[in-house]
Structure 1
Amino acid sequence: MIRHIVCWKLAATDAATKAEHAAEITRQMNELPALIPEIRALEVGSNVLFPEANWDVVLVADFDDADALERYSVHPEHQRVGKYIGEVRADRVAVDFEV
């Protein structure tokens, strides 16, 4: 199994807009397991501590293997959500590892 972890630093500088964008990312990401069969598990969370140092939003998702992760990454629904995230993020970091 592959665990896919992504963190986003949002571009908004004011707390209200940042919270709005984080909530929308969470909403859209939480729709994906019903639409993309390769997703075995998915959790999305917004940072609640140390906003000056921590990243703003995290995704933790599990896939059977690297091929399943690749199919997810090119799936049109993932691409749609990724487009929105790309519009509101300043930076992204990811790690994929075997579990």
Structure 2
Amino acid sequence: MVKHIILWTLKEMSDSEKESVKAGIKEGLEGLKGKVPGLVDIKVITSGRLASSTADLMLDSSFESEEALKEYSKHPEHVAVADSKVRPYTASRSCLDFEV
């Protein structure tokens, strides 16, 4: 099993815009479950953020294997979500991939 964790910081925008963007990211990425081979679980954390946080939201996903993660990164449905709902609104991205 492989974990794929992403932390994003959003670009400067109003609080209401941030909430809308976070909801779109959550809906888009969580909607990939059952569509991408090898994707076991996917959750986007958008609420409950404490003041000590340095990121705005987190992706917590699990894959059957490292190969499945590589395929996910270029899967057309994932690329479409990333290009339309994530990349235009994020200022920074941190990634941690590891085997469990």
Normalised to the residue count of structure 2, the TM-score between the two structures is: 0.90
The percent of aligned pairs where both chains have the same amino acid is: 29
Structure 2 regions of 5+ residues with no counterpart?
A: none
Q: Equivalences for 1:14-93 in 2 at 5 Å?
A: 14-51=14-51, 53-84=53-84, 85-93=86-94
- Give the Cα–Cα distance (whole angstroms) in 2 for the partners of residues 81 and 51 of structure 1: 28
Which AA in structure 2 matches 1:3? K
Structure 1 regions of 5+ residues with no counterpart?
A: none
Normalised to the residue count of structure 1, the TM-score between the two structures is: 0.91
Q: What value does the CA root-mean-square deviation take over the aligned residues? A: 1.4
- Post-superposition shift, 1:52? 7.0
State whether residues 49 and 56 of structure 2, in contact with CA within 8 Å, keep that contact through their aligned partners in structure 1: no
- Post-superposition shift, 1:54? 2.7
Runs of 4+ in 1 over 6 A off after TM superposition: none
- Post-superposition shift, 1:49? 2.8
Aligned length: 99
